[in-house]
Structure 1
């Protein structure tokens, strides 16, 4: 089997020695071409070339969720076609690795490599659904390129936190859960829009849901992790369904304390709830509009400011080795 191994050399939790061990282990069972990413967007280019080559059967992403997202967007550049596209495998190398953990795979890169080889020997794979974020026709964001996501997207508060974390990482800070928590506090005190919701969710056949301060779109559950603790923003989300949405209409200090506690104690059966929450399950198409331009993120990657994003939930988009 010919495989492409896409390696992010700056991944948070893998050393050069660990990468060499992993490459050797994979090369013992596969015909592997190894490419180190050199710049942002490189993994996407590599995924696209693999999809267009016609002779690559497997693409292995070694890195964090950002690397995985780029590879996925490259593989699906011409659209989803799970029967003909190369299969995807992931070896975790980031600080959180939500996608690989949501698949039920080990969070340790060495253990994940062993699980990957076992899965290849046994022919274990599944076809997963993905989310697609697009520019909304008739708006200033109409020409924004489409972007696939594997586990989450967000417009508003949570995307602002992601943007603050990226700024800190550019200054040399390590990506840790403590860093994220500090940026949550800074976003809370620095967000000029948290007192009045500017976001409206529109979907066919339903009245608009207005006044949202925060909007999180989930393609799977858990939404994220704090260390080894899973956090469930939308417990019903699944790779086998379309998209789920959690919206909040209040981010006052009491509301943040309440929802923060609910997230920390969330479970596969129960997530955030209350009269200021909006929870929607298995949506195939909807749009988020904002009266002002707000931060936007996909799979933990800050993509700037948007005032309108259209989402599509695509079932059976890509085959993944599990």
Structure 2
């Protein structure tokens, strides 16, 4: 089997030794090419070339969720077609590795490598759904290119946190869970939009009539699987029913007062696969194939933990059976 190993040498837990061990293990079973990323978007370019060459059957991503996201977007440059695209395999090398862990892969690089080799020998794979987001037609974001995401997107508060973390990493800070917690507090104290409820969610009506509209939202999280993220080894489940086998789930809040934040943060920290945050200010929607989020003011936007700037309107699509993954 012809395969490409895409390595992000800047990922949190990736080293030259990790790369060499993984490459040696894979080369015993595969016709392997190894490529290291050199700039933002390079993993996408490498995966696109692999998908277009017609010979590569497998692309392995060694890195964090951002590397995986770029590889997925490269593989799906011309749209989802799981029967013709190379299959994807993931070896976690970042700080959180939500996508890999949601697939049931070990979070340790060595254990994950062993699991990958076993899966390849057994021919074990599954087809997963993905989310897609694009600028909304008729909005000032209409020309923004569409992009795929594997496990989550955020519009508003959580995307602001991601942006703050990226700023700290650019200043040399290490990506840790403590860093995220500090930025959550700073985002809450500094976010004026949380008091105004600028977000509107619009989705097609089931009967084909006028769209269903929910306004006055202050934050929104879109999930393609559960858990949404991890705090250390603790999984967080704002949307326990989210799954790679369905379309997209949405969790939103209409209030972020100190009392509401305390209540919903506590519920999130104690959430389980059976029960997530709930209450009169919480909105949970399951298995949506299409919807749009609008905002009266530009808000931060993130996909798979990658901050993508400010947006006023984003249209989401949930695509079932979009990509084959080795597990």
TM-score scaled to structure 2, two decimals? 0.98
Give the equivalent residue in structure 1 for 2:129.
129
1:207, 1:25 → 2: CA distance?
52
1:137, 1:14 → 2: CA distance?
40
2:263, 2:196 → 1: CA distance?
18
Shift of 1:213: 0.4
Encode CA deviations 1:290-318: one digit per residue, 9 max, x unaligned. Answer: 00000000000000000000000000000
2:308, 2:240 → 1: CA distance?
26
Structure 1 consecutive aligned stretches of length 4 or more whose deviation exceeds 6 Å? none
Shift of 1:14: 2.0
Give the equivalent residue in structure 2 for 1:203.
203
Give the equivalent residue in structure 2 for 1:224.
229
1:266 alignment partner, one of 259, 262, 271: 271
1:225-304 alignment runs, 5 A limit: 225-304=230-309
1:1-322 alignment runs, 5 A limit: 1-205=1-205, 206-322=211-327
Q: Which structure 2 residue ranges, 5 or more long, are not aligned?
A: 206-210
1:198, 1:267 → 2: CA distance?
29
2:99, 2:276 → 1: CA distance?
19
1:279, 1:158 → 2: CA distance?
16
Shift of 1:29: 1.0
3-state DSSP of counterpart to 1:105: coil
Q: How many residues align?
A: 322
Quick check: 2:8–2:14 contact (8 Å CA) kept in 1? no
Quick check: 2:247–2:318 contact (8 Å CA) kept in 1? yes
TM-score scaled to structure 1, two decimals? 0.99
Quick check: 2:5–2:35 contact (8 Å CA) kept in 1? yes
Shift of 1:188: 0.3
Shift of 1:192: 1.0
Shift of 1:207: 2.5
1:181, 1:219 → 2: CA distance?
23
Encode CA deviations 1:172-197: one digit per residue, 9 max, x unaligned. Answer: 00000000000000000000111111
CA RMSD of aligned residues (A): 0.5
3-state DSSP of counterpart to 1:278: strand
Shift of 1:28: 1.0
Shift of 1:19: 1.5
2:239, 2:214 → 1: CA distance?
17
2:16, 2:197 → 1: CA distance?
46
Encode CA deviations 1:244-269: one digit per residue, 9 max, x unaligned. Answer: 00000000000110011000000001
Encode CA deviations 1:150-177: one digit per residue, 9 max, x unaligned. Answer: 0000100000000000000000000000
1:258, 1:219 → 2: CA distance?
24
